């Protein structure tokens, strides 16, 4: 199964694509969609949506996964992140790609084995699971989201067989 994982952000939205059978994960591609902080929010959202549509066309994922909205201390930041998630979910829906959503705790527990893992621990485990070191925390987080989805959805498929 080919899975696209997305780590939403207003300035940097990470993406990662893996081919997985639920147990082994091969990294197909990864990157970061950057938008300028000085640009108006609507322009940044347009950049993210357009770039993500291109990634979906190029990578042809069978499914996608996104981190669920989490509680944030700063309401403005949480609202901007929700806008980014909205355009990400729209691009995924437009492409007809199946979607999974996971909490940060589920993602970290699935990949690292500990729900309060730090970003560098997630990066280390992504490297361990894929054999590829990903410099960008945003892209590594996106690959972690994809791994979580593959592990969970393939686990469900195996248990039904």
- Please identify every residue annotated as catalytic: 7, 67, 138
Q: Judge contact between 4 and 97, C-beta under 8 A.
A: yes
Q: How far apart are alpha carbons 70 and 68 in whole angstroms?
A: 6
H-state helical runs in 3-66: 41-59
Measured CA angle at 90 (ends 38, 149), to 5 deg:
105
Strand partners, 26: 19
Q: How far apart are alpha carbons 31 and 149 in whole angstroms?
A: 18
């Amino acid at each position: 199964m080919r899975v696209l994982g997305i780590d939403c952000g207003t300035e940097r939205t990470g993406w990662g694509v893996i081919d997985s059978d639920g147990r082994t994960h091969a990294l197909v591609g990864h990157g970061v969609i950057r938008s300028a902080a000085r640009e108006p929010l609507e322009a940044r959202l347009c950049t993210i949506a357009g770039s993500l549509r291109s990634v979906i066309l190029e990578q042809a994922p069978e499914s996608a996964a996104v981190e669920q909205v989490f509680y944030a201390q700063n309401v403005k930041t949480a609202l901007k992140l929700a806008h980014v998630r909205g355009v990400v979910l729209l691009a995924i829906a437009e492409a007809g790609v199946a979607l999974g959503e996971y909490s940060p705790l589920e993602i970290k527990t699935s990949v690292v084995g500990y729900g309060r893992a730090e970003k560098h621990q997630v990066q280390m485990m992504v490297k361990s699971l894929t054999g590829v070191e990903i410099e960008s925390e945003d892209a590594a987080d996106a690959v972690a989201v994809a791994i979580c989805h593959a592990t969970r959805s393939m686990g469900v498929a195996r248990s039904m067989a």
